[in-house]
Structure 1
């Protein structure tokens, strides 16, 4: 039987890294499924690997598979969609992701219901009277020429409501982006964000190249978007993550964002409503 959170709220189980199980009404979404275990290597491309330092709070077999309505996948990197997820998820499960990732998911991995969205394109997922509109938002995994070496990434706006189209709750998933001028359009178009889920960690590749937000950039994004609440994820799970959560918490606090921060560690659940 599906677990239903209180009306008008979203319940989030933080599984680890950027993997969340999100429930709203009759809907259940999974984000960036990463179920490798501690000590296992993830492949990042070009021969680069990183070792997982933590255990996921759930194994892929423990997911409520019959309840899953869709996966929202920010991009096709091994710490966001891994070989365990590839084997353990139903091939008929809908994915909402980038055009690049959708082609690979359908062509190589057999997930035939993968849909690729270009920036600002939308797709609606329904279950019963519950609805979520997923909009692909700007994101860049790297800046300058190096950007071409990394897979395209998207942020996501999740607008939850009912079949009438009324939006009751808005979540933003940053994806593995750095802060750059293109994110200003999100602030303009999406002035009311109830919860921002921020991918942090300061992922650092050989040569010192940083390709995800560190603590300072995470606070910069809070300055820009000013969501009601913010949930930090994507930190401490892999050896390439060099910016610990405490750096973000300290910098966000220094800038007066303490009240926005949601304290939710892997394995914990948090319930968010429009007024909380």
Structure 2
């Protein structure tokens, strides 16, 4: 567990899945708990292969107050076990289109829309939907809508969860509204699928994650989404190397 302060800790379980304890609330990102295997697509587009299991089972998570789901359409962000888990969680925050597909307790947030969650001590956490782009410019038509999140609250650090975002312009928008960020949970891994967007990045690579850290003025960075899937082309060592080259290695908190 990365205990960053008395009000913030982050546990990383593999892929994009992490449990953020924030002001007493327990917030789970993109739940993926299936065993390794191949996920085909009925439309004939390239499937995805999971190469390693999560480091925890859903039954061992304990209480989860809400899910922060960047998007629901790809199994490396929401798999079968993750979908099943959503039924037992009071709230899932995601894109408006995703909430429409998921139903149940899912609530869609448009970019910059906010919702307040009640903390155990009676205070509030504000969750703001942040812009994200899952691939190069114009990717939405193929990859679908994606969202990030910013967490704020009185006496709490500012936390940015990027979701599956490949755009530094989106990061700059977050920095303009909320910077400097205290802790950034950055989805990285440089995922690529050669037939999709000619192999362009679908999410940040390690060097772009380091640049995003600089843009945000982030004091602490917890990288996720950099292991457990075959189409992730960079991993932990690449992240460390990129942050070291950028003079930012002291900001990394690796799970």
Q: What is the TM-score of this pair, normalised by structure 1?
A: 0.83
Distance 1:227 1:92 in 2: 30
- The aligned residue for residue 94 of structure 2 is 97
**Preserved CA contact (<8 Å) 1:61 1:88:** no
Deviations 1:200-233, CA, capped at 9 Å, x for gaps: 1111112323211111211221221120011111
Q: Which residue of 1 aligns with 2:35?
A: 37
Is structure 2 residue 127 aligned with structure 1 residue 134? yes
Which residue of 1 is the match for residue 219 of structure 2? 228
Alignment map for 1:172-191 (pairs within 5 Å): 172-191=160-179
Determine whether 1:254 maps to 2:245. yes
Instruction: Tell me the distance in 2 between the aligned counterparts of 1:28 and 1:92.
Output: 11
Listed one character per residue, the Cα deviations across residues 97-124 of structure 1 (whole Å, up to 9, x for unaligned) are 1111111110xxxxx2211111111111
Secondary structure of the residue aligned to 2:28 is strand
The DSSP-based 3-state class of the residue aligned with 1:189 is helix
Uncovered stretches (5+) of structure 1, i.e. residues with no partner: 107-111, 265-276
State the match for 1:203 in structure 2.
191
Could you tell me which runs of 5 or more consecutive residues in structure 2 were left unpaired when the two chains were aligned.
none
5 Å-filtered alignment, 1:49-128, equals 49-64=47-62, 67-76=63-72, 77-91=74-88, 93-106=90-103, 112-128=104-120
In 1, the alpha carbon distance for the partners of 2:253 and 2:140 equals 31
2:221 alignment partner, SS class: strand
Distance 2:151 2:221 in 1: 14
- Number of the residue aligned with 1:170: 158
* Length, aligned pairs only: 247
Q: Distance in 2 between matches of 1:124 and 1:100?
A: 21
RMSD: 2.1
1:121 and 1:228, CA in 2 relative to 1: closer, same or farther beyond 3 A? same
For residues 45 and 178 of structure 1, do their structure 2 counterparts lie closer, same or farther at Cα, with a shift above 3 Å needed?
A: farther
State the 1:58 CA deviation.
0.9
TM-score by length of 2: 0.89
User: How far apart, in 2, do the equivalents of 1:120 and 1:104 lie?
Assistant: 21
